Amino acid sequence: MDAEDCLQETLLRAYRAFHRTKPDSNYRAWLYKIATNVARTHSKRRNRRAANELPLNETTAAVGDPPDHSAEIGFELARVRKAVEALPEKQRAALILRKYQALDYDAIGEVIDCSPESARANVYQALRNLRSMLVESRSVKEDE
């Protein structure tokens, strides 16, 4: 549902702003920039809402429920999401645009307002930081 809301908001903003674009613009990068800004705004709102909600703990599960492996998968996904959200904003955006949207570094640079070389460096640093955070959080979990 969040993705659909972001898509709808992106298309609405693009429709409203299209008349201001230059004919020689890179429309793909322009649209990705709008989508990135919408996603950032949505993420900030979601984080504010999550801060006001109570976390789910073990006491809420019914006694005698069979073990559910989807909880482990959910934990891993949450761990990765938390690590990605902890990345600096430019690194996070560059990583998502490269790995999930398959943009080239020229387009990523246009979206995040930097050179293609800087975009490449942001993706590299994001992957390096992400690996480090995931290894660190796994060792903390194993120590518990």
Average confidence score pLDDT of the chain = 81
Neighbours of 29 (CB within 10 A): 18
pLDDT tens readout for residues 21-56: 998 989 888 998 899 888 888 887 777 666 555 444
Residues 74, 142 within the same domain: yes
Supply the pTM of this predicted model: 0.55
Count how many domains the chain has.
2
Domain that holds residue 107: 70-144
Residues 78, 41 within the same domain: no
**How confident is the model at residue 25, as a pLDDT?**
87
Query: Which two structure tokens, joined as six digits, stand for 29?
Result: 């990068």
The C-alpha atoms of residue 124 and residue 11 are separated, in whole angstroms, by: 30
Residues 31, 91 within the same domain: no
Q: Is the pLDDT of residue 58 over 60?
A: no
Residues 18, 80 within the same domain: no
Residues 49, 78 within the same domain: no
Cite the DSSP H helix spans in 52-115.
69-86, 89-99, 105-111
